């Protein structure tokens, strides 16, 4: 059942409520005038897009004074589309990397999903925790979501180091690489892809599969959609450059050093990408998929034309969101047991179909 949560400082709550009312009023006026932002969107999706669009902008203004206030404001009002009573939650134990476990009551697989949350590397929002629970519910697998260090307080390589530490911990605790799936949304998708690229260099075996949802594949200004899709998306192009600046932290790091698009994923574990055609990152994600397919990497790119950034959060309330979540489950079934995972009409790039045998998991020795 959908519900709205309001919390935190009174000034934050009042402003967020005002933004919510303004977004709702704007959508109502557009609909009455017969001019919706996107004809295929239901009113609730247009409202949510406008609300988060405005919330992100104000949160980043607050970040100039205090990252903590920025995050507190962002969490002051949010909505969730479903509850997941079948999923239990526990914080990580003292001997584990900092993070959260989400365990489905009736898990259907021995897979562990290592999920990196989105938020531009600067936020770990309450909605991100809810999304991790939704993955446990829809995929029927245990999810570990590391609470990796955030920018701007902790620039690169803090996030990479925390991701590798989480992967090493799973291996050391007895989870074989053949039962680990990397996953991430937005900046978390960036971290999942960068972690996949780092594993060989770190002397670690490849995971079974990597799921990248609306991933940030280039920290530079790539593609016309980066600014051209601003009005359709929750986030805006300029924000990616702010997040990239914080990730670099004043270090002499180039975009090439920090971008999955410059890496070579040939011979590594398969990658499944999902993206919305209305989001700002769609062009760079297409470029990433094309270049990696040309390199010989195993991947598939599915694009839902009318969706925007992280549309999975709409869950069952939108058919495309629900379909994308079910496709993630199909991808796990394919990777784990070779069940059918056929391309769909929205599949744009596919090198999995040409070779339906998974990449062999590396037997590199593990040093915990």
Q: pLDDT tens across 234-293, in order?
A: 999 999 999 999 999 999 999 999 999 999 999 999 999 999 999 999 999 999 999 999
Residues in a beta bridge with 17: none
Q: pLDDT tens across 75-122, in order?
A: 999 998 888 999 999 999 999 999 999 999 988 889 999 999 999 999
What pLDDT score does 60 carry? 95
What pLDDT score does 10 carry? 98
Q: Is pLDDT above 60 for 360?
A: no
Q: Is pLDDT above 70 for 294?
A: yes
Q: pLDDT tens across 111-142, in order?
A: 999 999 999 999 999 999 999 999 999 999 99
What pLDDT score does 365 carry? 31
The radius of gyration of the chain's CA atoms, rounded to the nearest angstrom, is 20
What pLDDT score does 361 carry? 34
What pLDDT score does 108 carry? 80
Helices (H), the chain: 10-32, 43-63, 67-74, 126-139, 158-172, 187-199, 225-228, 237-248, 255-258, 282-295, 319-337
Report residue 81 CA to chain centroid gap. Answer: 17
Domain residue ranges of the chain, discontinuous segments joined by +: 3-79, 84-350
The 3-class SS string of 65-116 reads: CCHHHHHHHHCCEEEECCCCCCEEEEECCCCCCCEEEEEECCCCCCCEEEEE
Structure tokens belonging to residue 69: 């206030």
User: What's the whole-number mean pLDDT along residues 12-27?
Assistant: 98
Residue the block writes with tokens 């179909």: 353
Residues in a beta bridge with 101: 90, 144
The closest of 270, 266, 123 to 185, measured between CA atoms, is 123
How far apart are alpha carbons 154 and 328 in whole angstroms? 31
What pLDDT score does 236 carry? 97
Q: CA of 27: how far to CAs of 2, 39, 48, 90, in Å?
A: 19, 12, 10, 38
Show Cβ contacts of residue 35 under 8 Å, excluding neighbours closer than 6 positions: none
User: What's the whole-number mean pLDDT along residues 335-352?
Assistant: 92
Q: pLDDT tens across 186-198, in order?
A: 999 999 999 999 9
Q: pLDDT tens across 34-50, in order?
A: 999 999 999 999 999 99
pTM score: 0.94
As its CATH architecture, domain 84-350 has 3-Layer(aba) Sandwich (3.40)
Mean of the per-residue pLDDT values of the chain: 94
Show Cβ contacts of residue 322 under 8 Å, excluding neighbours closer than 6 positions: 315, 316
What pLDDT score does 357 carry? 45
How far apart are alpha carbons 332 and 339 in whole angstroms? 9
């Amino acid at each position: 059942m959908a519900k709205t949560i309001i919390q935190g400082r009174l000034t934050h709550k009042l402003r967020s409520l005002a933004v919510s009312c303004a977004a709702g009023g704007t959508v109502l006026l557009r609909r009455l005038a017969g001019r919706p932002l996107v004809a295929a969107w239901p009113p609730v999706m247009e409202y949510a897009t406008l609300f988060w669009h405005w919330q992100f902008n104000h949160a980043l203004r607050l970040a100039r004074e205090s990252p903590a206030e920025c995050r507190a404001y962002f969490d002051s009002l949010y909505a969730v589309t479903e509850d997941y009573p079948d999923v239990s939650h526990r914080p990580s134990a003292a001997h584990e990397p900092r993070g959260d476990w989400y365990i489905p009551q009736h898990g259907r697989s021995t897979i562990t999903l290592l999920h990196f949350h989105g938020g531009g590397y600067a936020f770990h929002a309450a909605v991100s925790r809810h999304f991790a629970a939704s993955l446990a519910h829809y995929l029927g697998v245990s999810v570990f979501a590391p609470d990796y260090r955030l920018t701007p307080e902790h620039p690169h390589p803090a996030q990479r180091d925390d991701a590798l530490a989480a992967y090493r911990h799973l291996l050391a605790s007895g989870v074989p690489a053949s039962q680990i799936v990397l996953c991430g949304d937005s900046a978390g998708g960036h971290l999942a892809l960068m972690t996949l690229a780092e594993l060989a260099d770190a002397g670690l075996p490849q995971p079974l599969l990597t799921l990248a949802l609306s991933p940030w594949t280039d920290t530079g200004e790539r593609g016309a959609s980066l600014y051209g899709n601003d009005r359709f998306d929750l986030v805006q192009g300029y924000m990616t450059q702010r997040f990239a600046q914080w990730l670099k932290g004043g270090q002499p790091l180039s975009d090439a050093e920090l971008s999955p698009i410059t890496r070579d994923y040939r011979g590594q574990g398969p990658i499944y990408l999902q993206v919305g055609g209305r989001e700002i990152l769609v062009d760079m994600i297409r470029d990433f998929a094309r270049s990696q397919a040309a390199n010989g990497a195993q991947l598939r790119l599915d694009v839902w034309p009318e969706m925007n950034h992280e549309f999975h959060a709409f869950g069952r309330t939108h058919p495309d969101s629900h379909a994308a979540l079910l496709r993630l489950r199909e991808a796990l079934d394919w990777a784990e047991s070779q069940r059918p995972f056929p391309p769909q009409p929205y599949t744009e790039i596919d090198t999995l179909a040409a070779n339906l045998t998974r990449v062999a998991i590396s037997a590199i020795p593990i040093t915990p």
